[in-house]
Structure 1
Amino acid sequence: MSKKTKSIPVNPANGDFEPGIAIIGRISVKDFEASREFEESHRDNFHLFLLQEKGTTGIEIDFETYKIQPSSLLYIHPNQIHRSTGFEDVTFSGWAIDNENLNPEYLKLLEDITPVKPLLINEDTFAVISEAIALCVNLSKRNHEKLYHSILKDSCNALVGLVISQYLEQTKTTDTLSRFDIVTKAFKVLLEQNFTTIKKPVEYAKKLNISTAYLNECVKNVTGFSVTHHIQQRIILEAKRLLYHSDKSVKEISAELGYDDYPYFSRLFSKVTGISPLTFRNKNHV
């Protein structure tokens, strides 16, 4: 495990990119051999998309390890902590965009589908996305255009839309969603926005203008788990991120996650994971 810091590192989009938008053309692994930046666990302050053409990329995202194969897409949300675990003869392209430049409809859809796994795509779709990236790269070089930023933003959003559509093909479309599905999706969005401040199912039900019993019925029908289970799992995921990737004390982490009573938080962590927060941290120190 890499050296930890007081807070989880956040990588900004920087370099010779238009602020908030980065288009990365076709690159091979050799371009990264001199850099350790991608091997350090971090969050990004942008939405990151990768299209893998050749080779195998190892990546760790929120305690899960993946091998990205050729003709694959990968999306990483700004909340997710990730690092590369190795490149094998890799060629890929990528792009990044922040919330300010992202189409609001696409932002909502990305929040709905997160987290996702690497996605294998067919040859035709791969070719279309590759051509779209090449076009975006060429447009990114035309910074003399009067509407340069708008052109770059729109082209990058087109790429994002193509990726979202591929992930949505693997899930139910909006027209086929049941009432239970719709309520569950709305709950998950609220949970992501409020998990540090709202801990009770009744408060989420109030925000959705439904009864707590009906919210539980919807969520359990769709996911197999109760509303309380989802609330606790989201809190514990963030706690694990902070325990593993920062040097904050359990008391500091408890406060950051909305618990003034940190012994209660420790008991909750132990109940959900089977081990105490300190045991989790010590077990993962290398």
Structure 2
Amino acid sequence: MKLSSKIKEINDAGEFKEYYLLDAQYSFCEECNRMDYAHGNGFLEIVALEDLQKLHSRHIGHQARRKFYSVVLLTAGEVSEVIGYQEYHFGPQSMYFIPENQLHSIGSWSETVKGFLCMFDADYFLLCIKHQIKLNQFPFFQLDNVPYLKLSDRETQMMTHLFWKLNSEKCQKTTLNDDLLVKMFLNIILLEAERIYNHKAAEQPFNLSRNEQLVAQFQLLVNQHFLEKKQVNEYAGMLHVHPHYLNDVVKEVSGFSASYFIQKQLIQETKSRLIQTSDTVSMIAAELNFTDDSYFGRFFKRITGSTPQQYRKQHRHQ
């Protein structure tokens, strides 16, 4: 498959529509499009693959980097796509996953495709429960694992029902509890996919380039040590490479600097604690090993545009 060298950055569902669909005004759900929700942060969109297949614009082979997560359930038809640097061919009864910031391009979709595409960002996944599962802990969103599943008949039926239920609840939500239920169904889909994935993991070998292996190891270390290690040179030391080399490789593979992933992990952890706990901002700063509360506040505002107090007031479910 011939790929375009220019990478399109796609930040949200609106930009997805503008880039991939012939009609930028296309609504994923007519009912949802008429509703104005006063609550919730981040975004989640679901669209039928058969609708997407009819509306795809001329971007076959063009590389894009989505700033959000995508989960695809394919119940019929054939799909060819490049995820990262590898080309995959998917048939009926399969699921595939595109992590946040992963390179991706569409190869071909048969006219018979059916199923669902679910897109959501990390902020939307924040649930109002303590000790939530983090997105980067799901194996199919990790660079060093295969990004797809082959489903049995029973598993396909179960996932089809869950996607239908997710879409139905999303279209009907009007309250904070409704929105929480939508997030719960999203979480159930990912947990069920993880259960199936782990059961079948040993069946499929997966090879990465040296650079991809280094980035996968770096991201794993960040997930494990971001509370006590906040500098790129600390991770470079653990990986036995020069900090500049580590940063260059991470930038090449992911499109972002190494420090971006450390900061993102800290911000996501802060957001989770602001929403899910009653800890004061000072307590959260201390738990994240920031010795200066004012610096912690400036760091959070620089990345998010809001102070911790403003973020909690805006997004926390009452």
TM-score, length of structure 2 as denominator length: 0.54
1:2 to 1, 4, 7: 4
Report the equivalent of 1:162: 192
Distance 2:142 2:235 in 1: 21
Q: Select between 35-44 and 125-134 the one with higher mean Cα deviation.
A: 35-44
Report the equivalent of 2:133: 105
2:55 to 18, 32, 40: 32
Distance 1:155 1:21 in 2: 12
What do you get for the CA RMSD once the two structures are aligned?
A: 3.8
TM-superposed deviation, 1:25: 3.7
Report the equivalent of 1:91: 114
Contact 1:25 1:134 survives alignment (8 Å): no
TM-superposed deviation, 1:187: 6.5
Report the equivalent of 1:150: 180
- How many residues are aligned here? 209
User: SS of 2:97's equivalent?
Assistant: strand
| Higher-RCO chain (CA-CA 8 Å, sequence separation at least 6) | 1
Distance change >3 Å, CA 234–CA 59, structure 1 → 2:
farther
User: SS of 2:63's equivalent?
Assistant: coil
TM-superposed deviation, 1:10: 2.6
Distance 2:68 2:164 in 1: 21
Structure 1: which amino acid aligns with 2:90? Answer: I
User: SS of 1:36's equivalent?
Assistant: coil
User: SS of 2:124's equivalent?
Assistant: coil
Structure 2: which amino acid aligns with 1:12? Answer: D
TM-superposed deviation, 1:140: 1.8
Contact 1:111 1:189 survives alignment (8 Å): no
1:22 to 28, 34, 45: 45
Contact 2:78 2:109 survives alignment (8 Å): yes
Report the equivalent of 1:82: 104
Identity %: 14
TM-superposed deviation, 1:149: 1.8
Per-residue deviation, residues 225-262 of structure 1 (Å, max 9, x unmatched) = xx448x978953642565xxxxxxxxxx9xx568xxxx
Indicate yes or no: 2:158 matched with 1:136. Answer: no
Matches within 5 A, 1:1-286: 1-2=3-4, 4=6, 9-14=9-14, 19-25=42-48, 27=50, 30-33=53-56, 35-36=57-58, 39-88=61-110, 89-102=112-125, 104-110=132-138, 114-115=142-143, 116-145=146-175, 147-171=177-201, 188-191=219-222, 198-199=232-233, 203-204=237-238, 227-228=239-240, 236=249, 238-239=251-252, 256=257
Contact 2:98 2:147 survives alignment (8 Å): no
Per-residue deviation, residues 97-147 of structure 1 (Å, max 9, x unmatched) = 211122541414226851323221111111101011111122122134563
Distance change >3 Å, CA 61–CA 146, structure 1 → 2:
closer
Contact 1:29 1:91 survives alignment (8 Å): no
